[in-house]
Amino acid sequence: MQQRQCAKTAGRLAKLAIKGLAMATAMLAPLTAAAGEITVKGSDTMVILGQRWAEEYMRAHPSATIQVTGGGSGTGISALINGTTDVCQASRPMSAAEKEKLRDRYATTGVEIPVARDGLSVYVNASNPLAEITMDQLKLVFTGKVTNWKELGGPDAKIVVYSRENSSGTYVFFKEHVLKNADYTVRAQSMPGTAAVVNAVAKEKFGIGYGGAAYAKGIKLLKVKKDGDSAAIAPDEAHVKDGSYPLSRPLFFYLRNKPSGDVGSFVDWVLSGAGQAIVTKVGYYPLK
Amino acid sequence: MNMPSSSQQPTTRQPDQAILVGLAASTGTSQSPPPGPRTVQASDRKNHRRAQRPGLVSRRSGLNTLTELAIRVLAFTSIAAIILIFVFIGKEAWPLLHDSVIGREVTLAKMWFAQQWPGYDAPEHVWQPVSEFPKFAAWPLVVGTLKVTLVAMLVAVPLGVGAALFVSQYAGRRLREIVKPTIELLAGVPSVVLGFFALMVMASWLQQAFGLDSRLNALVAGVALSFAIIPVIFTVSEEAFGAVPRSYVEASTALGAARWQTIVRVVVPAAGPGLAAGIALGLGRAVGETMIVLMASGNAAILSANPADSARTVSATIAAELAEVVFGGAHYTVLFFLGVLLFAFTLVSNLLGEFAIGRMRRRLGGAG
């Protein structure tokens, strides 16, 4: 009697083990053979955009599976170099050093595809009376040379500077284009994502921060002047698209090779009217 | 992490003795229960008896050795894990000390002494790892860590020890059974929840209450962190107070001391090493805790002693930056070196805590 039960249990266990094995193989499969599965990784600025694209694309193509994750442009490019992602989303161009690494591994310098445009916005608290700022002033504020709103024509209060973690593509873009590669002030508080910067500035009366326009909720966007004499320009569609807004930037897809197969049809769809319509919905700007 | 093992030891002590008494009785000895090492002898004697029973001998003793072996393997696995972790971290940090390629970007001297950087007016300690000239000054991070930890300890030690004193000396039985589990429940709150609360709610309160320039700063992070270490300090201190023999209190009362005099002059000094242990374990946790400080401190690497300034701690720096660095590069190596520092510090404070617990046992053991 007991023995028979033992045998039964053993049989069940064996079945379970086989099931487990099958499941494990199924889970491992995406790592080995990526049939119909596309991984997209990179810029935190572009995560929302990538996810909307993936959702819509998968609705139209039920056989496709697309995984979108963030981590920062640098993280995405590293993943592209390490071969752990098919598509890298980046909010900055790839550096020469990164292209070099890609060539060492794959004998290709990668394929750069602009997929949308972003107007990097300057956030201040909704109660801040300031309406515009020049590129020079931005540099002075974020390098810590100017520390009081009074010096910019605002109230007499200390400026609380919010920045991003140094793994962020936005951090690097802002450093290159606004700070001209100078260091951020040590007083700049680094936030883990654009949403965190928005949240911080929304709560901090005398705060200032930067990030994509798509996230701007409950805060005020400053108009930006190229220099003291030029007009103050808001980060709106027309000005971002024609490049007259001083902080407009292209957003990229990076691939290792010319797009083909599943990845190719996804990229084509992103650049099509349907894909570009989502860009507008999310709050960025289409290419055309 | 160290809390459960160290805090349970005092509690398990009494059951141990009970078993010991039971064993002693069953083996027919009428000696009073001796402490510590004799336990082994008693159980040995029992094994011996079993072994003498015919028939069962080989099977039972075989099972015994097997069980013992398994337990031994389990125990040594965790020790081996700790050693392996330390070796791994050390190995990744090692190039910082001798690698010439990394040496061009960063050396130990550059980390610990102020450097004159292009674009800066005077020699400074700067943490700017992503820059034209990467700067890896350690002091801003170390000072930030100490600042946050100090605030946390200033809040947590009086609250934790005070609550323990209340629960063990003043509270009635029913009250104790409400207060004690509630405080210990705090240990189960995930640190990300504490961090989120600090980030969204507490930061605004503290800014309004003290008129601070920035919402996120060392003060907010320290206060939030104290919630995580209060249960550590409370649990260990409560055990320490509980371990003070009744006879001490009775003797003091018999000499005419008031309740508060007894507590201040007798109970607290007797439990002293236990309190020190709780504080040391809390300190280890505070220095290593990552999520709360990452969310609530503002993460600006400012070299200042002012708790109202934002601070970037060593643990938060590693958490925020390690995902992005070039594998084996200067930045990567520096982060692992910081990891070694952190590991060494928490190890030392935990060892001090264990040492203090041991001392308390010895001190109070004889008078029990």
Which chain B residue has the Cα nearest residue A97?
B326
Res. B12: pLDDT tops 80: no
C-alpha neighbours within 13 Å on the C-beta side of residue B77: 6
A214 DSSP assignment? G
DSSP string for B305-358 = --TTS-B--HHHHHHHHTTTSPTTSHHHHHHHHHHHHHHHHHHHHHHHHHHHHH
Compute the mean pLDDT over every residue in chain B, rounded to the nearest whole number: 82
Would you call A49 exposed, middle or buried from its count of C-beta atoms within 10 A (0-12, 13-18, 19+)? buried
Here the ipTM equals: 0.72
Rounded Cα gap, residues B274 and B237, in angstroms: 6
Return d(Cα B27, Cα B49) in angstroms, integer: 9
pLDDT above 60 (res B3): no
Above 90 in pLDDT, residue A237?
no
Q: Which residues pair with A158 in a beta bridge?
A: A148
B300 chain-A contacts, CB cut-off 8 A: 186-190
CB-based contact A166 B130, cutoff 8 Å:
yes
Which CA distances in Å does A72 have to A187, A194, B10? Answer: 22, 11, 48
B116 token code pair = 């004159």
Reported as a single tens digit per residue, the pLDDT across A100-120 is 888 988 888 889 999 998 888
Residues of B within 8 A of A71 (CB-CB) are 323-324
In this prediction, residues B165-181 reach a mean pLDDT of 90
Residue B3 CA to residue A284 CA, distance in Å, equals: 49
CB-based contact (8 Å) between B140 and chain A? yes
Q: Which of B310, B312, B318, B335 to mutate to test the interface with A (most CBs of A within 10 A)?
A: B310
The nearest CA of chain B is from the CA of A49 a distance in Å of: 22
* Residue A280 near residue A273, CB atoms below 8 Å: no
Sign of CA dihedral B63, B64, B66, B67: positive
Q: Which of B205, B291, B292, B299 to mutate to test the interface with A (most CBs of A within 10 A)?
A: B299
Nearest-angstrom CA–CA distance, B232 and B281: 7
Flag whether residue B186 sits within 8 Å of chain A, measured between CB atoms.
Answer: no
Residues of B9-43 as b/e, b for ≥16 C-beta within 10 angstroms? bbeebeeeeeebeebbeeeeeeeebeeeeebeebe
Residue A191 and residue B320: Cβ atoms within 8 Å?
no
Instruction: Judge whether residue A7 has pLDDT over 70.
Output: no
Q: Which of B128, B131, B214 sits opposite A160 (nearest CB)?
A: B214
- Percent of chain A predicted with pLDDT > 70: 88
CB contact under 8 A, B323 and A75: yes
Residue of B nearest to A42 (CA): B324
The pLDDT tens digits for B101-140 are 888 888 888 889 988 888 888 888 999 888 878 889 999 9
Average pLDDT over residues A192-221: 86
Q: What is the pLDDT of residue A31?
A: 43
Closest-CA distance, A144 to chain B, in angstroms, reads: 12
Q: Closest residue of B to A168, CA-based?
A: B324
**Pairwise CA distance, residues B124 & B122, whole Å:** 6
CB A171 within 8 A of CB A180: no
In tens, the pLDDT along A251-279 reads 999 999 888 888 999 999 999 999 999 99
Give the strands of the sheet with A160-164, arranged side by side. Answer: A189-191, A160-164, A207-211, A121-124, A220-221
| Number of Cβ atoms within 10 Å of the Cβ of A203 | 18
Name the band, by pLDDT with cuts 50, 70 and 90, for residue B28. very low
Number of H helices, E strands in chain A: 10, 13
Within 8 A by CB and 6+ apart from A25, the residues are none
Q: Which of A167, A183, A190 sits opposite B323 (nearest CB)?
A: A167
For A122-136, write each residue's pLDDT tens digit: 999 999 999 999 999
pLDDT value of residue A11: 53
Q: How far does B311 lie from chain A, in Å, by closest CA?
A: 9
Of B203, B302, B321, the CB nearest to A187: B302
Between A53 and A194, name the one with better pLDDT: A53
Confidence of residue B52 (pLDDT cuts 50, 70, 90): low
- Residue of A139, A125, A97, A116 whose CA lies nearest to A224: A139
Looking at the complex, does the CB of residue B319 fall below 8 Å from at least one CB of chain A?
Answer: no
Q: How far is A40 from chain B (nearest CA, A)?
A: 17
Q: What's the rounded Cα separation, in Å, for the pair B217 and A14?
A: 57
- Asked if residues B331 and B324 have their Cβ atoms less than 8 Å apart, the reply is no
Q: CB B324 to CB A203 under 8 A?
A: no
pLDDT greater at residue B21 or residue A244: A244
In angstroms, the Cα distances linking B202 to A214, B153, B251, B299 are 28, 18, 46, 17
Instruction: State yes or no: pLDDT of B163 exceeds 90.
Output: yes
d(CA A212, CA A198): 10
B187: pLDDT strictly greater than 90? no
Q: To which residue do tokens 């100017």 refer? A: A146
